[in-house]
Structure 1
Amino acid sequence: MKKSTIAIALAGTTMLLGACALIPRPGPVGNSAVPQPSKAVEVERYLGRWYEQYRYEASFQKDMDDVTADYSLNDDGTLKVVNRGRRNNKWKESTGKAKIVDAAMRAKLKVSFFGPLYGNYWVLDHGENYDWSIVGEPSGRYLWVLTREARPDADLLARLEARVKTLGYDWSMIRRTKQ
């Protein structure tokens, strides 16, 4: 091989490896047996603002507080998802799209913030009055615990902690979101 061909190949490999380093990596598995969603979801009742209380830290959300998620209907029947949070006194916002993938329960969705790439979003459980929601996905690497109030009472937070543990999640991996 010519030296120039080898140099080009090495440069290309270096650039590819460098680009791969920028891809968000999933965190460790906190639940090796994620359960199926326990209740059907009435989509209209799920719409609106949610405040994140607990989560498994993910690279795309690292060190964020004041995290909210707003859900609304798009004209095509998909959901508009607007996630917002603050890191180092700077607000970050991402807008995505979700589509329901299980028509019977409506608790499993696919969500995309990056064009054609969709990730799983499972509403594992929720309050009867849609005042709280526990969201995961099949790998057990992601978990979000959401409430309708920014600062719910301690009793609700304790009940949510107990429910997360009952679902098989490792509580030691939880990060409490400051609201």
Structure 2
Amino acid sequence: MNLKFPFIAIIMISLFISCTGIPKNAIAVKNFEVEKYMGRWYEIARFDFRFERNLDNTTAEYTLNENQTVGVLNQGHDYIKDTWKSAKGIAKFIGPKDEGRLKVSFFRPFYASYNIIALDKDYKYALVVGKNKKYMWILSRTKTIPDDVKNNYLDLAKKLDLDIDKLVWVNHD
């Protein structure tokens, strides 16, 4: 009997599940309205990782597709190489469509978690985390964010044991 296929299937399922998690004690926003979330967001701060290293002027543009998936276009300026980078992806809801939990892929079939854990009522500011404490973004509809919103999001991040000292504050010019 060939045990190779079941072993590979278990590994693939484990990888899929592990890529769509949410950090301990983090709760995705409820009563989420995806249509209001569409449009351009400016990245105010993030944890640094290789896909966004050396980028400033970073934005994310979200569009709702006919099949209810979300088109993603991330862009930023590499200030070391003086070039613009962009990446197109697709996001899908993990659970109910009124909950801010999605999975996003720029390299199908691999997905990563996109958990919106704070969002103001007017959909102007958002705090997003990945599957674990290595991924965090503060987003705004404008290139700046009010201090009170910033401080609230930083306080929430600290309560979740996220290391806010590692945040990269994005330059927008």
**TM-score scaled by length of structure 1:** 0.76
C-alpha change, 1:129 and 1:67, in structure 2 (3 Å) is same
In the TM superposition, residue 34 of structure 1 has moved relative to its aligned partner by 4.9
In the TM superposition, residue 82 of structure 1 has moved relative to its aligned partner by 0.3
In the TM superposition, residue 116 of structure 1 has moved relative to its aligned partner by 1.2
| Number of residue pairs the alignment of both structures matches | 149
Contact (CA 8 Å) 1:39, 1:124: kept in 2 or not?
A: no
> For residues 141 and 40 of structure 1, what CA distance do their matches in structure 2 show?
26
Match of 1:53 among 29, 35, 44: 44
1:133 aligns with 2:126: yes
Contact (CA 8 Å) 1:135, 1:144: kept in 2 or not?
A: yes
> For residues 34 and 54 of structure 1, what CA distance do their matches in structure 2 show?
21
Root-mean-square deviation over aligned CA pairs: 1.8
In the TM superposition, residue 105 of structure 1 has moved relative to its aligned partner by 3.5
> For residues 34 and 61 of structure 1, what CA distance do their matches in structure 2 show?
26
Match of 1:105 among 98, 104, 111: 98
Alignment of 1:141-156 (within 5 A): 141-156=134-149
Alignment of 1:1-179 (within 5 A): 33-88=24-79, 89-103=82-96, 105-179=98-172
Percent identity over paired residues: 31
Contact (CA 8 Å) 1:37, 1:122: kept in 2 or not?
A: yes
- After superposition, give the CA deviation of every residue in 1:62-85 in whole Å (9 maximum; x if it has no partner): 111100000001121100000000
- After superposition, give the CA deviation of every residue in 1:59-116 in whole Å (9 maximum; x if it has no partner): 1111111000000011211000000001122110101000111115331111010121
In the TM superposition, residue 40 of structure 1 has moved relative to its aligned partner by 3.0
**TM-score scaled by length of structure 2:** 0.79
Q: What is aligned with 1:15?
A: none
> For residues 115 and 23 of structure 2, what CA distance do their matches in structure 1 show?
15
> For residues 32 and 71 of structure 1, what CA distance do their matches in structure 2 show?
23
C-alpha change, 1:94 and 1:87, in structure 2 (3 Å) is same
Contact (CA 8 Å) 2:44, 2:170: kept in 1 or not?
A: yes
Q: SS in structure 2 opposite 1:60?
A: coil
> For residues 61 and 51 of structure 2, what CA distance do their matches in structure 1 show?
17
Letter in 2 for 1:70: E
Q: SS in structure 2 opposite 1:33?
A: coil
